[in-house]
């Protein structure tokens, strides 16, 4: 639910507004001075600030400026006496969203709160963009609670989760409710950077420092200075780049390639991975000291197969979104299709479900999504059928991973890796999946390579 901060030295007014908002489903916190209100704002995420213009220690302009400095996207409503309306209008020109005049009217308070911070409920968290759905899973709600707790601190965060579980959404949520929200949020997919260019991308280079360096380049650490740097799929960085990254995090400086002069940087790092970094440490593929540095606080996002209560909930929302985008009028999901959705394991998680539903809506011939609109691998998926058939012949060329029962998957993967000469990229191609999904499965089944 949306969280609102009320700052007013009149205790009666504060508590009256709090009760009115609480009765309408808002979560309202109160503070009786400007400093107390700002302290609360720094420690907790809020979606709206209601602030009296005349306070004993600060005025509304000071509060407005500090709130906007901490998080420019949070709306501020000024509460004022009728005689101060001109000042309230002036404050609106400087960033206030609206103003209320005393005596306050409950309907007006609720209307403005709903307009500026409404639409936030248990299924759609206040800090996420409109296209993100939190769902009903207690495990995911717990992860978001952790994100809320750690956001105002400067602690380095490691987000673990499979592809498509929403790691970048959570990272952006943390940035939004941090004290760095007014500074840049820079996201980098470490898996998409060629190994030979990783140092340049992260730390920058000067012209002529290597072949192809025709101009000076500012690395992402300097681009994110004062803000947050999100290093997605950090496990894909080479060992040499990990050494450079560790030094940067320890010394809080970067040195561009070809340059000897270190530059100070102030960056909060949020890292994410779909791999088991502890296992990579044991395999000497990831530095243990770097893991300790980035893993001051861990948040684990559960895969969709562990959130069965969310599958049909998400599918319904994605159907409605697809109708709006495609101009279609699909009204529901057939019962047989619902059973297929619940049976399938969704290795691509929420992203895969969204794409499948959108495709199904496009192909639908009537008002209901029928199984005929789904991809063959989803319709045919049935771990039970495979186990009953006792499929024991392992063939990495013909065995499609998504069609295999979970009890057989491990054998298929091990055989595929052996056949590929322990080349995991080749094994993934033979299995018909991407490399990240293969790593997820290796971790899931504890395969020792």
277-302 tens-digit pLDDT:
999 999 999 999 999 999 999 999 99
Alpha-carbon gap, residue 130 to 119, rounded angstroms:
9
Work out the pLDDT band at 420, boundaries 50, 70, 90: confident
The CATH T-level fold of domain 138-300 is: Rossmann fold (3.40.50)
Q: Does domain 3-117 fall into CATH 3.20.20.70?
A: no
Work out the pLDDT band at 430, boundaries 50, 70, 90: confident
Per-residue pLDDT, 256: 84
pLDDT-wise least confident of 92-96, 356-360, 432-436: 432-436
Summary mean pLDDT of the chain: 83
What digits encode the pLDDT tens for the residues 322-372? 888 888 889 999 999 999 999 999 988 988 999 999 999 999 998 999 999
CATH superfamily for 383-445 is Homeodomain-like (1.10.10.60)
* Statement: residue 386 has pLDDT above 50: no
Instruction: List Cβ neighbours of 406 (8 Å cut-off, separation of 6 or more).
Output: 345, 383
Respond yes or no on whether the N-terminal peptide bond of residue 103 is cis (omega within 30° of 0).
yes
* Statement: residue 393 has pLDDT above 60: no
What residue spans define the domains of the chain?
3-117, 138-300, 307-376, 383-445
Work out the pLDDT band at 389, boundaries 50, 70, 90: very low
For the domain with range 307-376, which CATH number is right: 3.30.450.40, 1.20.210.10, 3.20.20.70, 1.10.8.60? 1.10.8.60
What digits encode the pLDDT tens for the residues 137-180? 888 889 988 998 999 999 999 999 998 898 998 999 899 888 88
* Statement: residue 14 has pLDDT above 70: yes
Give the largest CA-CA distance in the chain: 84
* Statement: residue 119 has pLDDT above 50: no
Per-residue pLDDT, 129: 54
* Statement: residue 6 has pLDDT above 80: yes
Work out the pLDDT band at 388, boundaries 50, 70, 90: very low
Q: Give me the mean pLDDT over the 9-27 stretch.
A: 87
What digits encode the pLDDT tens for the residues 209-255? 777 776 888 889 999 989 999 999 999 999 999 999 999 999 999 98
Label residues 18-46 b or e (16+ Cβ within 10 Å = b): bebbeeeebebbbbbebbebbebbeeebb
Per-residue pLDDT, 209: 74
Q: Give me the mean pLDDT over the 191-212 stretch.
A: 82
* pLDDT winner (highest mean) among 70-84, 234-248, 371-385: 234-248
Indicate the pTM of the whole model. Answer: 0.59
What are the strands of the beta sheet with 98-101, ordered from one edge?
A: 27-31, 3-7, 48-52, 76-80, 98-101
Per-residue pLDDT, 396: 40
> One fold for both 3-117 and 383-445?
no
Instruction: Give 89 or 365, the one with higher predicted confidence.
Output: 365
Work out the pLDDT band at 126, boundaries 50, 70, 90: very low
Per-residue pLDDT, 218: 83
Residue 353, exposed/middle/buried by CB under 10 A (0-12, 13-18, 19+)?
A: buried
Instruction: Give 436 or 357, the one with higher predicted confidence.
Output: 357
Q: Are the C-beta atoms of residues 24 and 34 closer than 8 Å to each other? A: no
């Amino acid at each position: 639910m949306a969280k609102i901060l009320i700052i007013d030295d009149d205790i009666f007014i504060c508590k009256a507004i709090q009760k009115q908002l609480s009765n309408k489903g808002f979560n309202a916190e109160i503070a009786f001075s400007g400093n107390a209100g700002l302290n609360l704002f720094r420690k907790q995420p809020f979606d709206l600030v209601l602030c009296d213009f005349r306070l004993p220690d600060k005025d509304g302009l000071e509060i407005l400026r500090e709130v906007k400095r901490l998080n420019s996207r949070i709306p501020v409503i000024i509460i004022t006496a009728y005689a101060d309306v001109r000042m309230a209008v002036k404050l609106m020109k400087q960033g206030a969203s609206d103003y209320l005049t005393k005596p306050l009217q409950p309907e007006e308070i609720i209307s403005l709160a709903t307009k500026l911070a409404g639409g936030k409920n248990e299924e759609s968290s206040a800090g996420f963009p409109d296209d993100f759905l939190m769902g009903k899973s207690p495990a995911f709600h717990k992860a978001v609670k952790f994100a809320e707790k750690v956001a105002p601190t400067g602690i380095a965060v490691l987000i673990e989760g499979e592809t498509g579980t929403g790691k970048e959404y959570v990272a952006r949520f943390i940035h939004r409710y941090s004290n760095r929200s007014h500074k840049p949020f820079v996201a980098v997919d470490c898996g998409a950077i060629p190994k030979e260019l990783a140092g340049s991308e992260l730390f920058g280079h000067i012209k002529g420092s290597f072949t192809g360096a025709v101009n000076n380049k500012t690395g992402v650490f300097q681009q994110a200075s004062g803000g947050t740097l999100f290093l997605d799929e950090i496990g894909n960085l080479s060992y040499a780049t990990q050494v450079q990254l560790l030094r940067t995090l320890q010394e809080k400086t970067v040195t561009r390639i070809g340059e000897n002069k270190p530059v100070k940087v102030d960056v909060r790092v949020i890292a994410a991975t779909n791999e088991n970094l502890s296992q990579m440490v044991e395999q000497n593929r990831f530095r243990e000291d770097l893991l300790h540095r980035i893993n001051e606080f861990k948040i684990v996002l559960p895969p969709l197969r562990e959130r069965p209560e969310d599958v049909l909930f998400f599918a319904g929302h994605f159907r409605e979104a697809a109708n709006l985008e495609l101009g279609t009028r699909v009204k529901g999901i057939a019962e047989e299709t619902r059973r297929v959705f619940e049976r399938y394991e969704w290795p691509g998680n929420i992203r895969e479900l969204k794409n499948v539903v959108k495709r199904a809506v496009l192909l639908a011939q009537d008002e209901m999504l029928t199984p005929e609109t789904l991809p063959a691998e989803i319709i045919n998926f049935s771990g039970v059928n495979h186990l009953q058939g006792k499929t024991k012949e392992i063939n990495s060329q013909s065995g499609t991973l998504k069609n295999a029962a979970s009890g057989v998957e491990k054998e298929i993967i091990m055989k595929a890796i052996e056949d590929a000469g322990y080349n995991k990229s080749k094994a993934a191609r033979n299995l018909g999946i991407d490399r990240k999904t293969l790593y997820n499965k290796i971790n899931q089944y504890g395969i020792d390579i």
